[in-house]
Amino acid sequence: MGEAEPLLHFLFVSFPGQGHVNPLLRMAKRIAAKGPLVTFSTTLDFGRRIKAASNGSTASAYEADAIPIGHGFLRFEFFHDGADPDDPKRDDLDVLMARLDSNGPPSLTHLINLQAHSGRPVSCLVNNPFLPWALDVAAQLRIPSAVLWVQSCAVFSTYYHFHHRLAHFPTDENPDLTIHLPGLPPMGPQDLPTFLLPSNPYKPLTKVILAQFHNISRARWVFANSFEELERDAFKAIAELLPVIPVGPLVDAGEPQEKVRADIWKAADHCLDWLDKHERRSVVYISAGSIVMLSSEEMQELAHGFKNSGRPFLWVVRENLRELLPEGYEKEIEAEGKGLLVGWSPQEQVLAHPAIACFVTHCGWNSTLELIAAGVPVVAYPQWGDQVPDAKFLCDVYGVGIRLPAPAARADVVRCLDIAIEGAEAEAMRERAEEWRELAVAAVAAGGSSDRNIEKFVDEIRKWVASELAAGKLH
């Protein structure tokens, strides 16, 4: 009899933000499905919020030692970053980053050592870039590491060129400069991530974003939540500087383990029953994600625009935005049967529903990939950061959407919805959206471009573990 294959144990470590946790957890499930044991970790405080929001079958997922995923297993174990759950400033970015920088490395080191003592030594660490110190911890413990970039390859290339001063960007002296980067279309100031503009008011956030590139060379692999067919030129061009490997789209729709989630808000699943009552391609879906804050004027104009369109709509309005709606608005639209407002939705299931006609979105990258994977046309309303180039690509490169001018005006809302849903232009958008959907599905299917990259990654870790065992460096 041959020897048993050594245990492969991947540790995924995420920044405590919904938009960071979601894609990393999805990649963790893809890795687990190939056979290894995967431990998913983020801060203890964020873990408590995940547990509080989970229900039914998902509740047991965070209590069980290991959840079967394909040929492998997934488990959760959180590290303590010193957060006080009662501190109202615990989510303030400056406070959070300082706390993670000081408490994260020793807490993560302790967690990794605990795995070894429990008979499951970590074979590879995978993190998302807002925790750059995780790569330093892995290097100190001689563990190979990888990074998952949670935005597009185009945005990665843009930040990379800016950080390394490989191209000229807009300045106070030349604010209207158009930049030309390899593999990307020409991008004016109106197309760039807003954090790179001289007018950017969030300088501390720019510093945090660019800090991701200081030690990224420590990672043996840099992955991107995208797929080769979507950004072929961008991937080819950045490979000349730093190979970036596509493993997306990291979406859950249709996956057998889609109920293993890490949402910190409870999704209003009853909205799916509401959608069942509507005709095919009749409902407008609206969501601005987990962070975007809109002004009172914008909320008023959007609210009237959706109502004036005469189309049924499902609108995700977080509790901290409800007070900005017109007085009595929610009761009025629900009484008329025209609209439904929810605090949070099972977005991938919503986008896959046949009743959805188009998606009014802030164009965060997770939402962008989810709509591409679902084949849904777009009304793009970006606010800041990478949402701006995402909107450009959706409308001008992928050809699946129309841009809603900012600040929103009710007449523009109605006009854009008409363009995205009716007529020859809408039909062309739907056809292109369906073509992208088919390519996205093929990329993550068995033998697809992204699936092959994940398979190769697991094989490389398997070979590394075998060589370390042969050399007597692992026990």
For residue 431, count other CB atoms closer than 10 A to its CB: 13
Query: What are the C-alpha distances in Å from 81 to residues 16, 78, 95, 165, 421?
Result: 10, 9, 11, 34, 47
Distance CA 128, CA 149 (A): 6
The residue annotated as part of the active site, out of 20, 161, 304, 353, is: 20
Tally Cβ neighbours within 10 Å of residue 446: 7
Cβ proximity of 412 and 405 under 8 Å: yes
317, two tokens: 């309005």
> How far from each other are the two terminal CA atoms of the chain, in whole angstroms?
21
Rg for the chain (alpha carbons), in Å? 22
Whose CA is closest to 383, among 402, 412, 406, 400?
A: 406
Nearest partner of 120 among 471, 465, 470, judged by Cα: 465
Instruction: Give the other-Cβ count within 10 Å of 107's Cβ.
Output: 20
Residue 20 is among the residues annotated as catalytic for this protein:
yes
Strand partners, 39: 11, 75
Could you give the residue ranges of the DSSP H alpha helices within 212-338?
232-238, 270-276, 296-308, 319-322, 329-336
Pick the closest to residue 313 from 343, 347, 355 (CA basis): 355
**Alpha-carbon distance 220 to 244, whole Å?**
11
The whole-angstrom separation of Cα 134 and Cα 61 is 25
**What is residue 48's three-state secondary structure?**
helix
CB 370 within 8 A of CB 251: yes
**Phi, psi for 27 (deg, rounded to 5):** -65, -40
| DSSP H or E stretch at residue 127 | strand 124-127
Distance CA 435, CA 373 (A): 10
Report how far residue 92's alpha carbon sits from residue 460's, in angstroms, rounded to the nearest whole number.
Answer: 39
User: Catalytic residue positions?
Assistant: 20
